[in-house]
Amino acid sequence: MREAVTVHMNATPEAVWDLVSDVTKIGRFSPETFEAEWLEGATGPAVGARFRGHVKRNGIGPVYWTSSSVTTCEPGREFAFGVGKPGKPLSIWGYCIEPAGDGVDVTESFTLTPTLGLRLYWALMGWSRGKTNREDMRTTLERIKAAVEAAS
C-alpha cells in the first residue's frame, strides 16, 4: 500500500525544497491537485501546519477539497503530510531530496494507512489507483524538474 517514484534533477536541495514544501505552488505541478492553501494562520511549512488542497480526481473529477497536516518538515531534505484528520491520516504523501552526482534525486511517495477499509480497497482497486498515482507522481516530478532546471 505504498508507491514511490524518483527523478534526478540538476538542482540544489534548497531549490527543490522551496517548490515541494510550498503547497500553494502545487497547482503548477500536480495533475490532480490544482490549488492549495494554508489554514489556521499557517503561512508556510512546519510540522503540524494545516492546509487544504483542491483535487480533481484522476484529472476528470469528482472535484473536492481535502485537508492535510504537515508530518515531516526537514528543509532541503524531506517534506511529508497526512491527508485527513490530524493524527489519523488516510494517507501520507511526501518528498525526499537526496544529493546525487550533479544534483539531487527527488522521490515522491504515498502510503495508505493500513485500515481494514483501505486494505480492502487496495486489494480490489490498488492495481489501478497505484498505476495512476505512479504516473501522476512522475508527471509532478518532471514538472518540478523542468521548473528548477530552468531557474538554474
| pLDDT, tens only, 17-63 | 999 999 999 999 999 999 999 999 999 999 999 999 999 877 777 89
3-state secondary structure the chain: CEEEEEEEECCCHHHHHHHHCCHHHHHHCCCCEEEEEECCCCCCCCCCCEEEEEEEHHHCCCEEEEEEEEEEEECCCEEEEEEEECCEEEEEEEEEEEEECCEEEEEEEEEECCCHHHHHHHHHHHHHHHHHHHHHHHHHHHHHHHHHHHHC
Specify the CATH number for the domain of residue 26: 3.30.530.20
| pLDDT, tens only, 118-147 | 778 777 776 667 788 889 999 999 999 999
Q: Is the pLDDT of residue 69 over 90?
A: yes
Q: Is the pLDDT of residue 79 over 80?
A: yes
In the structure grid, which three cell numbers stand for residue 1, read together? 500500500
Q: What integer pLDDT is reported at residue 127 of this predicted model?
A: 66
Q: Which residue has the cell 532546471?
A: 149
Q: What integer pLDDT is reported at residue 106 of this predicted model?
A: 98
- Structural domain range at position 117: 2-151
CA-CA distance, 80 to 72, in Å (whole number)? 5
Q: What integer pLDDT is reported at residue 92 of this predicted model?
A: 95
Provide the domain count of the chain: 1
